[in-house]
Amino acid sequence: MTWKRNISDSSPQDNQRVLVSDGETITIAYKVTQESQVIWLFDNPQLKDLKIFWWDNLPELPPKINTESNTI
């Protein structure tokens, strides 16, 4: 996995589903820009306050995560 630092000139494209991390937690999110403000939409809405520092591209069809049993 090649993590990329989330800085303004290298952040993912809008509406791109990416793997993101705050350095401890790893999850999947979409990056959306609305009125010049970056908003992250998470697959797990409980992580809405996660501060994104790192991201990586996902393959075209990433595995679905079963949150009930934490299996892929």
pLDDT for 21 equals: 92
| Closest CA relative to residue 56, chosen from 10, 13, 9, 2 | 2
Q: What is the pLDDT of residues 51-70, one digit of tens each?
A: 889 999 887 765 666 656 55
State the pTM of this model.
Answer: 0.70
Can you tell me which residue has the tokens 């959306």? 32
Give the CA diameter of the chain. Answer: 38
Whether residue 23 has pLDDT greater than 80: yes
- Distances from the Cα of 53 to the Cα of 12, 60, 69, angstroms: 12, 22, 27
Mean pLDDT of the chain: 81
Predicted confidence at residue 7, as pLDDT, reads: 72
Extended strands (E) in the chain: 4-5, 17-21, 26-34, 37-42, 54-57
